[in-house]
């Protein structure tokens, strides 16, 4: 898989580490059913606090710089990690940034509306526009881009989560990185597990594995945003588009997406008991931070399935830590105590 023809902005520091969860594994003991757990640290990165959106932004902003853009606009929920990392990366690259944020989670307390990512959006210098939950944020972003272009600015608009086919290439590249690291570690990961929000992380990984001749169903996501049917259709569509961008002679298989909807709880951004347990367990046994909206729910799903005996003894599973730590401060009430 050759992605060198796509321009990339340097927002990452080379391969992110993979390591085994030894203390968590000792703690779980027999509940593990002999499975070996590993994490890939996509939550660490050199810009904006790190997180999975940096890999997508490398391609999105690489293209924007090639087009000599001076302004980027993106959209997201009030506590969007993608919006934070877009603002930080824009600051790093000397671009102006505007964010259209929707109140899609039913919360109006100050932790949610003013702390966590909301604090950082403005700290990184972005101009923030707040919209009601049901607003067509991308429509507003496009309208704003048109206005700014009328004033002579050169504007790029990125979709929610940066999950355009170009953005998804960031995770196709990550699939190649995982394959190389697995070879060095002499590990064959039975599953690569990720949260699914805007579907780009899963779609990019699945497209990348497929383009390298691997089974794309080795990637498993837990949806935390769309209901499972919708999430699967969106992930499949993005994987197809991403494969088409990598190599137009390839076609992504109709059954290439493995997705689980059982750990989303009542809806996007609404805490679950499984999320709380997963966040605490990882913090207390490994000193690692999951987030309340994405990785906490996905890791809860992984723990549930491992405990239920879904994997044979000896299987090695790789959980991709996607970041989102600022979200913990917006969910103080759900995380504190216990
Ligand atoms: C955006 C995000 C995800 C989900 O990635 P998608 O590509 O949108 O599916 C997972 N974890 C964190 C912390 C995120 O910010």
Pick from 83, 219, 322, 323 the residue to mutate for probing ligand 1's pocket: most ligand atoms within 8 Å of its CB: 322
Average confidence (pLDDT) over 245-265: 97
Phi, psi (degrees; rounded to nearest 5) at 258:
-105, 115
pLDDT of amino acid 98: 98
Return the biggest CA–CA distance within the chain.
Answer: 64
| Average pLDDT over every residue of 171-178 | 98
The rounded radius of gyration (Å) of the Cα atoms in the chain is: 19
Parallel, antiparallel, or unpaired for β 127-132 and 219-223?
Answer: unpaired
**196 Cβ closer than 6 Å to some ligand 1 atom:** yes
Strand partners, 129: 100
Q: Check pLDDT > 70 for residue 329.
A: yes
* Whole-number Å distance between alpha carbons of 83 and 85: 6
Asked whether the predicted pLDDT for residue 40 surpasses 80, the reply is yes
pLDDT at 221: 98
Q: Does residue 338 surpass a pLDDT of 70?
A: no
Instruction: Please pick, among 20, 25, 80, 221, the residue that the annotation labels catalytic.
Output: 80
Residue 96: its H or E element:
strand 96-103
β-pairing, 258-260 vs 219-223, is parallel
Name beta bridge partners: 320: 40
Indicate if ligand 1 lies below 6 Å from the C-beta of 79.
no
Nearest atom in ligand 1 to the alpha carbon of residue 80 is 15
Exposed / middle / buried, residue 328 (Cβ in 10 Å: 0-12, 13-18, 19+): buried
Q: Across residues 257-282, what is the average pLDDT?
A: 98
Q: What is the tens place of the pLDDT at every residue in 80-92?
A: 999 999 999 999 9
Give the pLDDT mean for 285-297: 98
What residue owns the CA closest to ligand 1's atom 13? 324
Grade residue 337 by pLDDT with cuts at 50, 70 and 90. Answer: confident
CB 224 within 8 A of CB 264: yes
| CB-CB contact of 214 with 256 (8 Å) | no
**Atom 4 of ligand 1 has which residue's CA nearest to it?**
197
Angle at CA of residue 102, ends 55 and 71, nearest 5°: 50
Ligand 1 pocket test, pick from 88, 201, 319 with the greatest ligand atom count within 8 Å of Cβ, gives 201
Q: What is the CATH number of domain 53-162?
A: 3.40.50.1100
pLDDT at 169 exceeding the cut of 90: yes
Residue 164, classed as helix, strand or coil, is coil
Instruction: Establish whether residue 76 lines the binding site of ligand 1, counting it when its CB lies within 6 angstroms of any ligand atom.
Output: no
Q: Which long-range CB contacts under 8 A does 28-35 form with residues at least 24 apart? A: 28/303, 28/306, 28/307, 31/306, 31/307, 32/306, 32/307, 33/306, 33/307, 33/309, 33/311, 33/313, 34/312, 34/313, 34/314, 34/315, 35/306, 35/311, 35/313, 35/314, 35/315, 35/316, 35/317
C-alpha 150 to ligand 1 mean position (Å): 33
pLDDT of the residue at 187: 97
Cross-strand pairs, 318: 38, 192
20: annotated active-site residue: no
Residue limits of CATH 3.40.50.1100 in the chain: 18-50+164-335, 53-162
109: confidence class by pLDDT, cuts 50, 70, 90:
very high
* pLDDT at position 27 over 90: yes
**C-alpha span between 76 and 98 (Å, rounded):** 11
Q: Is the CB of 306 under 6 A from ligand 1?
A: no
Q: Is the CB of 301 under 6 A from ligand 1?
A: no
CATH domain 18-50+164-335 topology: Rossmann fold (3.40.50)
Nearest Cα to 194, choosing from 165, 163, 164, 166?
163
Please work out whether the CB of residue 104 comes within 6 Å of at least one atom of ligand 1. Answer: no
How many residues would you count in the chain?
A: 338
From 57, 82, 161, give the residue whose CB has the most ligand 1 atoms within 8 Å, as the site to mutate: 161
Q: What is the pLDDT of residues 118-137, one digit of tens each?
A: 999 999 999 999 999 999 99
Q: Please compute the mean of the pLDDT values over residues 29-36 and round it to a whole number.
A: 97
């Amino acid at each position: 898989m050759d992605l060198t023809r796509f321009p990339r902005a340097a927002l990452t520091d080379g391969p992110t580490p993979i390591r085994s969860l030894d203390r968590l594994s000792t703690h779980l003991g027999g509940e593990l059913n002999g499975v070996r757990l590993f994490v890939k640290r996509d939550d660490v990165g050199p810009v904006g606090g790190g997180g999975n959106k940096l890999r997508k932004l490398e391609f999105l902003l690489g293209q924007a710089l090639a087009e000599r853009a001076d302004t980027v606009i993106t959209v997201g929920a009030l506590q969007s990690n993608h919006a934070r990392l877009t603002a930080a990366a824009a600051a790093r690259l000397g671009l102006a940034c505007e964010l259209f944020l929707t109140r899609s989670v039913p919360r109006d307390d100050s932790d949610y509306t003013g702390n966590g990512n909301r604090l950082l959006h403005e700290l990184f210098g972005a101009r923030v526009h707040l919209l009601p939950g049901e607003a067509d944020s991308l429509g507003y972003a496009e309208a704003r881009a048109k206005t700014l272009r009328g004033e002579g600015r050169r504007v790029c608009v990125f979709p929610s989560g940066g999950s355009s086919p170009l953005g998804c290439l960031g995770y196709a590249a990550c699939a190649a990185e995982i394959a190389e690291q697995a070879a060095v570690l002499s590990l064959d990961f039975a599953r690569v597990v990720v949260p699914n929000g805007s579907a780009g992380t899963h779609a990019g990984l699945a497209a990348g594995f497929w383009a390298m001749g691997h089974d794309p169903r080795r990637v498993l996501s837990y949806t935390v945003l769309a209901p499972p049917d919708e999430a699967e259709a969106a992930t499949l569509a993005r994987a197809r588009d991403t494969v088409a961008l990598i190599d137009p002679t390839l076609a992504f298989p109709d059954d290439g997406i493995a997705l689980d909807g059982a750990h989303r709880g009542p809806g996007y951004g609404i805490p679950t008991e499984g999320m709380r347990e997963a966040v605490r367990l990882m913090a207390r046994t490994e000193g690692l931070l999951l987030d309340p909206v994405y990785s906490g729910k996905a890791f809860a799903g992984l723990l549930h399935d491992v405990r239920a005996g879904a994997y044979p003894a000896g299987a090695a599973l790789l959980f991709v830590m996607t970041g989102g730590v600022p979200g913990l401060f917006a969910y103080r009430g759900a995380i504190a105590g216990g």
